[in-house]
Amino acid sequence: MDRMLVVIFNNESNAYEGQKALLQLDREGSIGLDAYAVISKQADGKATIKQGADSGPLGTLLGTTVGSLIGILGGPAGLAIGATVGATSGSIFDVHNVRVGEDFIDDVSGALTPNKVALVAQIEEEWTTPVDARMEAAGGTVYRRALSEVTDAVNQEDVAAMKADLAQYKAEVAEARADRQAKLQEKIQKLDTKIQTHLQKIQDRRRAAEKHAKARAERLKGKAAERPSL
């Protein structure tokens, strides 16, 4: 099962110990680690991304659930960090890409108090004991939630609703007075722009999901090749 995992630690040393344990569990095949990062909350409330996936400070987090959750937990400080990696990084903070409930976000946000450190990861796991045992041994408190698959469907429904409104506005233009027509045309233009933006976000998320699935398949293929033949 795909899950979002957040482990809260009292310090960076313990968090990195937890990170190493998570990587070890992935190598052993106990879990599948798709993306991860270590973030810290400073005394002034600002969040900092300390370390990310292998390919860089933010690595493969762009456009993923992990990246979006980090953006929410990091707040304005997180947005500033994201902006440093280029314009395409905007998707990392897309709240629509977070596939967990608000209650989970509230629980994690409440636990990630100043001077705490969090290990955030998207994992595949069949049972919770391996991760819980290793994280608790490293001094961490574990929060997890199964990932929802409804995000794309919800956004499609939003677009359909906006298209219905757009059609209504266009139908009214022909019957409206000249002064009213100008206002309707302005609404049509704004709504059409909004629809195109939503469609682009849906397409971007699909591409990110496809890229993520391909990377996962390659990782599993590599693991299979590393196993000794019987």
Structure tokens that stand for 66 in this block = 């992990």
Q: Return d(Cα 99, Cα 210) in angstroms, integer.
A: 16
- What pLDDT shows up at residue 67? 76
- What pLDDT shows up at residue 57? 41
Ordered by start, the domain boundaries in the chain are 2-146, 151-226
Q: Return d(Cα 172, Cα 184) in angstroms, integer.
A: 8
- What pLDDT shows up at residue 147? 78
39 near 68, Cβ under 8 Å? no
**Residue burial 2-41, b: 16+ Cβ < 10 Å; e: rest:** bbbbbbbbeeeebbbbbbebbeebbeeebbbbbbbbbbbb
Q: Return d(Cα 103, Cα 114) in angstroms, integer.
A: 20
The C-alpha angle 135, 52, 92, rounded to 5 degrees, equals 115
140 near 7, Cβ under 8 Å? yes
Q: Return d(Cα 165, Cα 18) in angstroms, integer.
A: 50
Residue 38 zone, left/alpha/beta (φ > 0; ψ -120 to 50; rest): beta
Q: Return d(Cα 187, Cα 94) in angstroms, integer.
A: 25
- Across the chain, which has 230 residues, the per-10-residue mean pLDDT values are 91 95 92 88 79 49 70 57 35 55 83 92 88 95 79 67 84 81 86 85 73 71 66
- What pLDDT shows up at residue 66? 80
Structure tokens that stand for 27 in this block = 């190598």
- What pLDDT shows up at residue 228? 62
- What pLDDT shows up at residue 195? 87
- What pLDDT shows up at residue 202? 74
In one letter, which amino acid is 122? Q
